A and B are shown apart, each in its own frame.
Chain A
Amino acid sequence: DQQVKQNSPSLSVQEGRISILNCDYTNSMFDYFLWYKKYPAEGPTFLISISSIKDKNEDGRFTVFLNKSAKHLSLHIVPSQPGDSAVYFCAATYSGNTPLVFGKGTRLSVIA
Chain B
Amino acid sequence: DSGVTQTPKHLITATGQRVTLRCSPRSGDLSVYWYQQSLDQGLQFLIQYYNGEERAKGNILERFSAQQFPDLHSELNLSSLELGDSALYFCASSVEGPIYGYTFGSGTRLTVV
Interface residues, chain A, CB within 8 Å of chain B?
A: 4, 6, 32, 34, 36, 41-46, 49, 51, 89, 91, 93, 96-105
Contacts and interface: CB of A to CB of B under 8 A. Distances in A.
A44 B56 contact: no
Task: Classify chain B: how many residues form its interface, as a range.
Answer: 20 to 34
Interface in B1-35: 2, 4, 33, 35
Contact of A44 (B41, B58, B99, B104): B104
A44 B4 CA distance: 12
Contact of A43 (B42, B48, B92, B101): B92
Given A99-B33, A103-B42, A46 B97 contact: no
B106 interface: yes
B4 to A, nearest CB: 7
A106 to B, nearest CB: 10
A79 B48 CA distance: 37
A43 B4 contact: yes
Contacts of B2: 43, 45
A43 B90 contact: yes
A4 to B, nearest CB: 8
Interface in B28-79: 33, 35, 40-45, 48, 56, 58
A100 B106 CA distance: 18
Contact of A32 (B33, B99, B102): B99
Given A43-B4, A45-B2, A96 B90 contact: no
B101 A34 contact: yes
A4 B42 CA distance: 10
Given A34-B98, A102-B42, A103-B42, 20 more contacts: A34-B101, A41-B106, A43-B92, A43-B107, A44-B90, A44-B102, A45-B2, A46-B101, A49-B99, A51-B99, A89-B43, A93-B97, A96-B97, A96-B98, A97-B98, A99-B45, A99-B56, A100-B33, A104-B40, A104-B41
